[in-house]
Amino acid sequence: MLIAGNWKMFDGPDPPELAARVAGIAGVDVIVAPPYTRLVACVEAGLTTYAQNVHWEPQGAYTGEVSPAMLRALGVRGSLVGHSERRQYFGETDAGVARRAHAALAAGLDVIACVGETQEERDAGDMETVLRIQVDAVRDACGPHDRLVLAYEPVWAIGTGRTATPEMAEEAHAFVKSLLDRPVLYGGSVKPDNAAELLAQPSVDGALVGGASLDVDSFAAICEAAAAVRP
């Protein structure tokens, strides 16, 4: 079971405090994805640390971007790619997400590639079409790479307080796995009070946690729920 905390553009909790709190939770791989300014502190605290994004080129005139090699030099283990906020606010495309994922894997980083539909797409009955397009782009670029994990994050549940039902999450995860046989995390308003039910679904391999990862106790409670579901 894998639990990843995406701190987004927040400072997040104290890295040594968080590291000490989750250190004794057996059977769960814990990852944090802080802002770039907090990467070193998280690495030094002993946390498995991912960036929130990564570029596909090793270097060059790409203002505001960071290369896989730069992340590895800091001791960063992996990166998110294709988060819904990157797609929505910064115009990232399926092709660009696939390039980022491929470059990161080729450079030795682990990758969590995010996919998911909007409320409008779900209401129109297009969930599977959207997921197929997004997953196929990653699959065609990376294949079933052993350092690749997917995250299903229904856009309508990101930061809204709304959460997919366990049945909805299971349906989407099973479909994603039918396209690319890799672990799939659920992301979308995961909290201590709903984590166990979501994580108990057979096709849910962990969680990508947003707001609840900013509080040590809340994030630790989700990790403990994961450990209890699949000890």
Asked if 92 is an active-site residue, the reply is no
Helices marked H in the chain: 15-22, 39-44, 68-73, 84-90, 94-106, 119-123, 127-142, 166-179, 192-199, 216-229
Provide the residue type at 213 as one letter. S
Residue 206 to residue 208: CA distance in whole angstroms:
7
Angle of helix 15-22 versus helix 216-229 axis, rounded to 10: 20
Q: Choosing from 83, 102, 145, 173, which is the catalytic residue?
A: 83
**Distance (Å, whole) CA 118 – CA 102:** 25
Report the C-alpha gap between 147 and 136 in whole angstroms.
17
Contacts of 60 (CB under 8 A, 6+ apart): none
Q: Is 83 a catalytic residue?
A: yes
Amino acid at 61: A
Q: Roughly what angle, to the nearest 10 degrees, separates helices 127-142 and 166-179? A: 40
User: Using the 8-state DSSP alphabet, how is residue 45 labeled?
Assistant: T
Return the residue matching tokens 């039902």: 165
**Active-site residue, selected from the candidate residues 85, 92, 117, 153:** 153
Catalytic residue list: 83, 153
